[in-house]
Amino acid sequence: MEEQIQRAEQVAKKDWPVVMSWVGGITALIGLFASLGGGVAWFVNHHRQKTEFQGKMALAETQAKQGEYQAAVQSYGEILKIDPAYQPALDQQLSTAMNWVEDFHVRAREDQNAADMAAPALDQVMAILDAGLTRSKGSQAADVQAHIGWAHWLNQHIAEREFGSVAEQNFRAALVADPSNVYANAMQGNWMLQSSGNFHQAIQHLNTALATGKARAFVRRLQLGGLLYLDQQGARAELVKAVNDMRKLCEPLGEEQRRRILGFCFDPVVVDYAQLTESLSAVPPDETGQTYIWLGDLPADAAGISAVHAFLTANLLELSGKKKESLEKYRLLQQQLQSQSGSLKNHVDAAIARLSDSERARSSR
């Protein structure tokens, strides 16, 4: 009996490693399956998150294209709440914030205060721009710095809660980093025009911005906006040069803007002789006439030429040295206006007297 027990113990000792090996194998397989299961779960979750991000990114991009900048910024923000380091959302949110600054406006009802509405939106924009500046380098950093300056300008003029030269300090910093930066030059030039800065330096900044060929529509908006209604000698000439270039380059210009430029530069009822002369002599006479027509002056009478158009034509002849032809035009216009009164008739009478005196002076020599 004892011998049988001993033999059984020996067999068990021999079989035990085999059993343990089998158990270890089963345990390893269980661990492998668990790992595989975890990997599959991670893959599924990652794919789900990626799909969700793509959907939110597409939504945000659509919102930005439609000019719904605040909504787009918030859509990118929802992605960044889940993954703060998601680079595509960071880049697009920063780009959208800069576009928002460029096209910032507030629609307020009569019972609402525009400044109160602008303040929280500008806080949101500046937070994104400030964060973006810390991770930007080179030309992009200058772009962001300039937009921070423009946000401060808006904070001062729309939100009405900032004073001083913070905006210009940011423009200057952007120019130090990138002297030819389109945004820094355009914004600095506009700021100087609106702040009674050096006129010629402002024009240089705007011309530098235009020379880059970038963000042209935005640069034109700041250029025209800074010059229109500016009570400064040379402003009308620069404005005519700008719209003359726009005509030749087939750049778009809204009807309301055309009407305002016509009135500011060419309307003899509004401007005096010196101002009109400045406008008419800014570019070659043939280009002035083409630009005037391009701006939208339409013939108002049966003869096909309006009185104002005829007056400007006579002025252009005078400025180009064709005094005799100019005097003939003025006299024809004087006959047309003989039963009328007003500034235009006074301008015509003054022009005829001026040219007649000049003609008599030449004859007496």
pLDDT in tens, 211-265: 999 999 999 999 999 999 999 999 999 999 999 999 999 999 999 999 999 999 9
Q: What CATH number belongs to 22-100? A: 1.25.40
CA–CA gap between residue 202 and residue 194 (Å, rounded) = 10
Under 8 Å between Cβ of 141 and 183:
no
How many other C-beta atoms can be found within 10 angstroms of the C-beta atom of residue 225? Answer: 14
CA distance 282 to 287: 10
Alpha-carbon separation of residue 31 from 26, 138, 348 (angstroms): 9, 51, 100
pLDDT at 365 over 80: no
Confidence class of residue 46 from pLDDT cuts 50, 70 and 90? low
Please provide the DSSP assignment of 28-47 as one string. Answer: HHHHHHHHHHHHHHHHHHHH
Which pLDDT band holds residue 16 (cuts at 50, 70, 90)?
Answer: very low
Region 15-30 average pLDDT = 55
32: tokens are 């492998």
Q: What is the model's pLDDT at position 24? A: 57
Q: What is the band of 6 on the pLDDT scale with cuts at 50, 70, 90?
A: low
pLDDT band for position 302 (50/70/90)? very low
Q: What is the pLDDT of residue 293?
A: 86
Q: What is the pLDDT of residue 257?
A: 95
Q: How many CB atoms lie within 10 A of CB 56?
A: 17
Exposed/middle/buried for 266, CB within 10 Å: 0-12, 13-18, 19+? buried
Round the average pLDDT of the chain to a whole number and report it: 85
What is the pLDDT, as a whole number, of residue 258? 94
Q: Which helix (H) or strand (E) holds 360?
A: helix 343-363
Lowest model confidence (mean pLDDT) among 42-51, 54-63, 131-140, 225-234: 42-51
Per-residue pLDDT, averaged over 97-104, amounts to 95
pTM (two decimals): 0.79
Confidence of residue 151 (pLDDT cuts 50, 70, 90): very high
The confidence score (pLDDT) of residue 51 equals: 78
**Helix, coil or strand: residue 229:** coil
Percent of the chain predicted with pLDDT > 70: 82
Least confident of 32-46, 194-208, 232-246: 32-46
Closest CA relative to residue 101, chosen from 163, 161, 167: 167
pLDDT at 204: 98
Radius of gyration of the chain from its Cα atoms, rounded to whole angstroms = 36
What pLDDT, on the 0 to 100 scale, is given for residue 304? 44
Hey, which CATH number is domain 119-227, 1.10.3470, 1.10.1740, 1.25.40, 2.40.10?
Answer: 1.25.40
- 326-358 burial, b at 16+ Cβ within 10 Å, e below that, comes to bbebbbebeebbeeeeeebbebbeebbebbeee
Residue 4 has a pLDDT of 56
Comparing C-alpha atoms, which of 325, 316, 334, 313 is closest to residue 359?
325
- Per-residue pLDDT, 107: 81
Q: Measure the CA angle with vertex 128, ends 125 and 129; round to 5°.
A: 85
Region 119-142: what's the mean pLDDT?
A: 95
DSSP labels, 123-182: HHHHHHHHHHHHT--HHHHHHHHHHHHHHHHHHHHTS----SSHHHHHHHHHHHH-TT-H
- CA contacts within 13 A on the Cβ side of 230: 27
* pLDDT beyond 80 at 35: no
* pLDDT (average), residues 61-70: 92
How large a percentage of the chain has pLDDT more than 90? 53
Cα distance between residue 262 and residue 249, in whole Å: 19
